Amino acid sequence: MAQNSKIEWTHHTANLWHGCTKVHEGCNNCYAEKLSHRWGNDVWGNDKPRKEIKSFWKDLDKYQKIAEQSNEIHRVFIGSMMDIFEKTMIMIDSKGAENTDSMTANIRFKLLMRIEKQNYPNLMFLFLTKRPSNITGCVENVLSEKSKNNLMFGTSISTQEHAQRLIDMLTKVNGKRFLSIEPQLTEIKDIDLTGIDWVIQGGESGHGKRPFNINWAYTMRDICKAQNVPYFFKQIDKIQEIPNDLLIREFP
Residue 82 pairs in a beta bridge with 19
Q: How far apart are CA 201 and CA 158, in angstroms?
A: 10
Give 43-102 pLDDT, tens digit per residue.
999 999 999 999 999 999 999 999 999 999 999 999 999 999 999 999 988 777 777 668
Q: 185, 25 in Cβ contact below 8 A?
A: yes
Across residues 233-237, what is the average pLDDT? 96
Q: Do β-strands 17-18 and 12-14 pair in parallel, antiparallel, or remain unpaired?
A: unpaired
pLDDT of residue 2: 60
pTM: predicted TM-score of the whole model, two decimal places: 0.94
Q: How far apart are CA 221 and CA 227, in angstroms?
A: 10
